[in-house]
A = this chain, B = another copy of it.
Amino acid sequence: MISNKAKYAFRALLAIAEAPEGTAMTSTEIAANNAIPHKFLEQILLDLKKAGILESRRGKLGGYAMLRPTDTVTFSEILRIFEGPLAPLPCLSRQFYRRCDDCESEVSCAIRREFGRAYDASRQVLDSRTIADALHDDAFGGFVSAPSRKAG
């Protein structure tokens, strides 16, 4: 399960990305329209700004806007800001690599191998999907299909 913080970040980003180019959205607006606690959202937007995803203006006509084009901002990038490493094991992370304390041999570790496969699979999605993709419901994998997943 991803944290509320990360979920709020995606909601906010999608809201900002949807706004017409050049217009800024205020934290108050975003909070109200997306069921996010206002002061909590402020922290999140600040994190996104510090990460170079958003830009901001203060004062009366202030607010937040995308700093980078929406099609360059991937889901994994955002997730990492709020969740830290996405790898299931420290020894599988490229960006936050840490050897397991008690590991004898990484190459022969069956747990590492299996989780490596799972991680590869999910990373292939999260690394390639962007905010722009999410907004436009672009197809994944080169074809369009109705969602087959059923809730429940």
A residues with a Cβ closer than 8 A to B are 1-2, 7, 10-11, 14, 34-35, 75, 84-85, 87-92, 94, 97, 99-102, 106-107, 110-111, 113-122, 124-126, 129, 133-135, 137, 140, 147, 149, 151-152
Contacts and interface: CB of A to CB of B under 8 A. Distances in A.
Nearest to A94: B152
A58 B125 CA distance: 47
A91 to B, nearest CB: 6
Contacts of A149: 92, 116, 120
A65 to B, nearest CB: 19
Copies in the assembly, this chain: 2
B147 A113 contact: yes
A79 to B, nearest CB: 9
Nearest to A136: B110
5 contacts: A1-B84, A2-B88, A35-B101, A35-B102, A117-B129
A81 B78 CA distance: 29
Given A14-B110, A35-B102, A111-B7, A90 B1 contact: yes
Contacts of A129: 114, 117-118
A137 to B, nearest CB: 7
A149 B14 CA distance: 33
Given A14-B110, A97-B152, A113-B134, 10 more contacts: A7-B89, A10-B111, A14-B111, A75-B118, A97-B151, A111-B134, A116-B149, A119-B122, A121-B122, A121-B125
